């Protein structure tokens, strides 16, 4: 293309419409909030719960696209008042999802004229998203002019360069929901010469399929018919709590890219530029534990973890609700094969998750990389029955897995101090001990266990200093406003509350439940006595009493001539179920 002259070989101009969005369902809300606001599913549903409880939005667990007649009228009035009647186009939407229950309206503001709502920034941002989306559903499509320009070089007539541009003619719903830019395209005609400034040839690489984000995973679950509006967030939260996946934080690794440039003076220059590739930020990355569990389930419970099986269960639940299938038949059909699969898996060989890396030259003991329920770790030595000596466990080096860690890296990691380790004593004489527990690293300070931040390197149990640990301990002590042993008043991140003894299950099996109670707003936490704290704990656990509906008394007129005495009858009192709307 050196010394080439370029001209417009062809020009295509078309008008296209950009369709306005449909109303928000639970899945769509989580997808949009993740994409536009960067919210996790848990954050989205928590903010939506706050908005719903405050009466700002309709019920947020729904798969319906319906908007009530009253809502449509209010939205139409607002659009006409703020943007003009030429922006209004009243529409009704119906879900195409066969498994949708449509028990509620779509998610919308209860009062569309309220522009700002919410107690905190999360709620305010989510409300703005819901309001804008709701308005956009009743506005006209946007109209854009698309131009495709084909450029030809006189030195290479069979090769064409294509340039595309877009200009908004009518912004429509983009006025409130979307990005509308005022772009002016050059006024060119076929045959017009075009001056070349620079020509770039850049090396590219094929990319693997993108990993799921929380938003794209919700979308996939909805497509596969897995879960319900009320369970999407809990599914995504559960796989992270169980350490099956973690959210990536890497911005990517630098990679050298070759770039050739043909400048205005017809000189070709070659340079190597560095670009980051493989970013995992915000992506859900499977952990070794997740891979292990997935492989085990796919091998031993292939039918049960199949996508169609899960969607089929949802269909059967719908049939039970419609009284077309009995729950006992459904349970028998499920439990038979499931029980057999459990029996077969119990006989299966336990997954060998240990990798022998080599031998420690100092002790002569073997070093293993293993996977436990909390992730990967290194093990030095084995259980010695004769001597009673136990192995030493240490975490994997940062950024390494059981598959990627090397012997040299493991040996370097073994130089870390052994946990638990004493850091020293606080000013009040309490010994501070750094340790690792089933829920992660913590500081043991007398009767207190203080969780450490895994992300903060200063709180790494292997490197944490006495000063840092003492500051955390003091913060813990300062948060305790009153301490009667089994009952405490604690100033938590959401305000003061009463913490009582944990409630053990009636069966005696399983984990004890927390026993916490909010302190009434009109009470000063520091003035509460132990007896009052006990009363607040008891009252918080007492079941709410329902008021029986008042009986209506109707006065009957009796004829003047006849005087009859009717036998008194006792009316039955029925309690109607209350449903949320």
Instruction: Give the residue numbers annotated as catalytic, written as ranges.
Output: 59
Label residue 572 exposed, middle or buried (CB < 10 Å: 0-12, 13-18, 19+).
Answer: exposed
Report whether 98 contacts 222 (CB < 8 A).
no
User: Residue 495: which H helix or E strand, with range?
Assistant: strand 495-503
CA distance 170 to 185: 16
> What is the phi/psi pair of residue 324, to 5°?
-100, -5
Report whether 228 contacts 60 (CB < 8 A).
no
**Between β-strands 421-425 and 513-518, what pairing exists: parallel, antiparallel or unpaired?**
unpaired
- The contacts of residue 235 (CB under 8 Å, 6+ apart) are 221, 227
Expressed in angstroms, the distance from the first to the final Cα of the chain is 67
Q: What is the DSSP string of 172-205?
A: GGGGTSS-----------TT-EE----EEEE---
Nearest to 423 by CA among 472, 360, 456, 457: 472
For 239-250, b/e burial (b = at least 16 CB within 10 A) is: bbeebbbbebee
CA distance 572 to 39: 51
Neighbours of 109 (CB within 10 A): 22
Percentages helix, strand, coil for the chain, rounded to the nearest 5? 30, 25, 45
Nearest to 41 by CA among 52, 58, 27, 57: 27
> What pairs with residue 10 in β-bridges?
150
Sign of CA dihedral 411, 412, 413, 419: positive
Q: Which two tokens stand for residue 142?
A: 């946007």
User: Residue 346: which H helix or E strand, with range?
Assistant: helix 327-347
Report whether 457 contacts 463 (CB < 8 A).
yes
Residue 92 region by backbone torsions, left for phi larger than 0, else alpha for psi between -120 and 50, else beta = beta
> What pairs with residue 358 in β-bridges?
367
CA distance 249 to 283: 8
CA distance 465 to 482: 28
CA distance 390 to 377: 16
């Amino acid at each position: 293309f050196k010394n080439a002259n370029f001209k417009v070989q062809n020009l295509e101009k078309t008008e296209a419409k950009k369709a306005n969005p449909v109303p928000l369902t639970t899945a769509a809300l989580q997808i949009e909030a993740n994409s536009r606001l960067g919210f996790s599913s848990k954050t989205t549903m928590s903010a939506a719960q706050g908005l719903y409880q405050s009466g700002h939005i309709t019920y947020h667990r729904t798969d319906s696209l319906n908007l009530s007649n009253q809502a449509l009228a209010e939205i139409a009035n607002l659009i006409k008042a703020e943007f003009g009647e030429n922006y209004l186009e009243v529409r009704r939407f119906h879900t195409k999802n066969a498994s949708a229950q449509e028990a509620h309206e779509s998610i919308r503001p209860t009062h569309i004229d309220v522009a700002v709502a919410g107690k905190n920034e999360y709620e305010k941002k989510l409300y703005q998203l819901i309001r804008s989306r709701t308005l956009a559903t009743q506005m006209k499509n946007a109209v854009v002019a698309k131009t495709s320009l084909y450029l030809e070089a006189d030195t290479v007539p069979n090769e064409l360069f294509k340039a595309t541009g877009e200009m908004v003619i009518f912004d429509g719903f983009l006025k409130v929901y979307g990005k509308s830019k005022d772009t002016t395209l050059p006024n060119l005609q076929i045959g017009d010469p075009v001056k070349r400034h620079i020509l770039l040839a850049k090396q590219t690489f094929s990319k693997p399929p993108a990993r799921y984000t929380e938003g794209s995973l919700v979308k996939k679950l909805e497509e596969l018919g897995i879960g319900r509006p009320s369970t999407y967030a809990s599914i995504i939260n559960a796989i992270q709590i169980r350490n099956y996946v973690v959210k990536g934080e890497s911005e990517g690794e630098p990679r050298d890219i070759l770039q050739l440039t043909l400048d205005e003076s017809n000189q070709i220059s070659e340079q190597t530029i560095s670009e980051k590739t493989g970013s995992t930020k915000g992506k859900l990355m499977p952990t070794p534990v997740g891979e292990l569990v997935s492989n085990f389930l796919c091998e031993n419970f292939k039918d049960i973890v199949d996508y169609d099986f899960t969607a089929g269960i949802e269909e059967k639940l719908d049939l039970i609700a419609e009284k077309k299938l009995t729950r006992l038949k459904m349970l028998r059909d499920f439990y038979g094969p499931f029980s057999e699969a459990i029996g077969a898996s119990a006989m299966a060989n336990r997954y060998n998750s240990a990798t022998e890396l080599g031998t420690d030259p100092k002790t002569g003991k073997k070093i293993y990389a293993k996977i436990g329920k909390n992730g990967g770790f290194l093990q030095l030595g084995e259980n010695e029955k004769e001597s009673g000596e136990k192995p030493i466990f240490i975490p994997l080096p940062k950024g390494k897995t059981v598959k990627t860690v090397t012997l040299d890296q493991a040996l370097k990691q073994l130089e870390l101090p052994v946990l638990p380790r004493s850091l020293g004593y606080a000013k009040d004489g309490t010994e501070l001990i750094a340790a690792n527990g089933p829920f992660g690293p913590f500081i043991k300070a007398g009767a207190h266990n203080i969780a450490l931040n895994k992300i903060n390197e200063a709180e790494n149990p292997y490197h944490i200093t006495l000063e840092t640990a003492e500051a955390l301990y003091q913060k813990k002590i300062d948060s305790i406003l009153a301490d009667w042993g089994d009952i405490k008043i604690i100033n938590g991140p959401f305000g003061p509350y009463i913490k009582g003894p944990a409630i053990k299950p009636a069966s005696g099996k399983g984990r004890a439940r927390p026993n916490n109670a909010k302190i009434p707003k009109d009470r000063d936490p520091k003035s509460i006595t132990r007896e009052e704290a006990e009363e607040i704990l008891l009252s918080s656990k007492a079941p709410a009493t329902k008021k029986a509906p008042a009986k209506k008394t109707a006065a009957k007129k009796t004829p003047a001539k006849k005087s009859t005495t009717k036998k008194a009858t006792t009316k039955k009192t029925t309690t109607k179920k209350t449903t949320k709307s």
